[in-house]
Amino acid sequence: MIKFADVALMTHATFGMLCIIASVWVFVDTLNVSQGNLVRIKLMSRAVAGFMWLAFLIGGYWYVTYYYADKALILKGPWPFAHHLVMETKEHLVLMLLLLTTFLPITASGNLVANKSARNVVLWVVGLIILTGILMEGSGAIIGMGVKLAVLPK
Amino acid sequence: MKHNELEKYTISFGLSLAITSLFSALLVILKELCEHSVLVWMGKATGHHWMTHGIIDVVVFVALGWLLGTLNGGRGVSISAEKFIKTVVGAVVISGLIIVGFYTVDMMAG
């Protein structure tokens, strides 16, 4: 039977991935901005923020409720850095990512067709979101591997 | 507003993001180095130090973004787009490096 903790963790990763996909969408649409896709950029920017907040709240709940068990395993296993470096960094970098995604709809609220500076801000912000998001997904994989290696028979 | 000027809240919340990111990175170092005082207090405040950290970050970000927007008689902060982008991107990258650097050193120190 699938445990609630596992569903929460997978949901967290899924919303994180949806956030990255929506961010790539915003990036490409902004590069090709026109009156035709302006509304879509604004909607997708809000989707980026929405997906991120869902990923954050679900992941945060999992982290404060269930992570202690995984942490104990990681620290006894061959990859203790998966907690000491990767999880510690991830849990704090994600706070910046949350603020970046919250900021994105504000940057995208202007007239991106006429205003090149506003366009550049959106591209930089969403670029940072994509890179940090990929870093978060990769970090999650390393943490998962840290647990897996700890429970494998030696 | 001129053709290529940024909107008031883009600037105020962007600068707030830059300041909050750096503040958050420094708070990481502070709470880890003062684990018997700051970390304990942050843990007791909400039940987990990370939750307190997140709430502080969001509150600072929103409050500062709103406050910066009220400066100059409600017109907000005046800054060129190029300088604004450098400030925001620079602050976010430096904050990230501070966090990664701190935990790398902390891990290597054992």
Encode pLDDT of B46-91 as tens digits: 999 999 999 999 999 999 999 999 999 989 999 999 999 999 999 9
d(C-alpha B59, C-alpha A90), whole Å:
21
Could you tell me the two tokens for B44? 């007791």
Taking 50 as the pLDDT cut, the residues of chain A under it are none
Residue ranges of domains in chain A: 4-151
CB A70 within 8 A of CB A143: yes
- Whether B41 shows a pLDDT value over 90: the answer reads yes
Q: Does B29 touch chain A (CB under 8 A)?
A: no
Instruction: Give the model's pLDDT for residue B1.
Output: 54
Touching check for A17 and chain B: CB below 8 Å?
no
Tell me, yes or no, if B9 comes closer than 8 A to chain A by beta carbon. Answer: yes
Cβ contacts of residue B61 below 8 Å, gap of 6+?
A: A99, A102, B13, B16, B17, B20
- Report pLDDT for A153: 82
Which of A64, A109, A118 has the CB atom closest to B48's CB atom? A64
ipTM above 0.90, yes or no: yes
CA distance B24 to A92: 8
